Amino acid sequence: MNLELRTRVQPFRASSAWTEADFEQSFPNANSAIIITDMWDKHWCRGATGRVGEIASKMEPLLQKARASGILIIHAPSDTMSFYVNAPGRRLATDAPHSVPPQELVVHDPPLPIDDSNGGCDTPGDKEHRAWSREIPVLTIGPGDVISDSGSEIYNVLRQHHIETVFYMGVHANMCILNRTFGIRQMSKWGMRCVLVRDLTDAMYEPGSRPYVSHWAGVELVIEYIERYWAPTVTSTQMLAELAGKAASR
């Protein structure tokens, strides 16, 4: 895939201003993986559940193309491994040869630009609890797909398959995508190249909290934060077009 990635740069050290910057990068399919993060069948927040359904319907066609193009698909619905205990994808994760991660990189990690300390639910009255039991069934788990919610297991799989770049999609950008043991922070510290698919994510943020903007403005602030400090981003539209074009040319 030849993709145009978006990042944020601080061009003048005498100024605190950041600006958007784009650059092109090529990613061999055989050395790329997708991690689908916490796309549960149900979330404790009704607003989040509805948006996950919308994201899943857009995500599935991309996963079909990516799988057919030789990109490794990793399903990571945290806290649901008991549901998949006998699934072939679980065995692919647990049976992967052990790999010792390198010494972690030291990365500057400023605070988030939003306040999500109250859980970030934008549908009033919802109380935090474990509502999920599996990944949303809209997403197909195909032959060769891996299932895990463990950073060490997923790192083993990535090394086994000689993966250099991980594309993250799913929810939520300010919580699980950044902070899970398989998330962008940890994999970046272990030297993996991480890319966020910015139109296939969401954030836990409600407008009554700092900085008092709309939900979607809050999502964009989190995406910009990731672009500044952790990983560039891309759109699913770009990825799908590249994968469709490569398939058509074969």
CATH architecture for the domain at 30-119+133-249: 3-Layer(aba) Sandwich (3.40)
- CA 53 – CA 49 distance, rounded (Å): 6
Q: 13 falls in which pLDDT band (50, 70, 90)?
A: confident
DSSP alpha helices (H): ranges in the chain?
46-68, 88-94, 151-160, 176-179, 184-189, 215-229, 236-249
| pLDDT of residue 249 exceeding 90 | no
State both tokens at 93: 């994760």
The per-residue pLDDT for range 42-82, each reduced to its tens digit, is 999 999 999 999 999 999 999 999 999 999 999 999 999 99
Q: Global pTM?
A: 0.96
Strand 193-201 versus strand 19-26 pairing type: unpaired
Domain ranges of the chain: 30-119+133-249
pLDDT of residue 246: 60
Tell me what percent of the residues of the chain surpass a pLDDT of 70.
98
Q: Which region holds residue 120: left if phi is over 0, alpha if psi is between -120 and 50, else beta?
A: left
The per-residue pLDDT for range 114-169, each reduced to its tens digit, is 999 999 999 999 999 999 999 999 999 999 999 999 999 999 999 999 999 999 99
Q: Which of 7-16, 93-102, 179-188, 203-212 has the lowest mean pLDDT?
A: 7-16
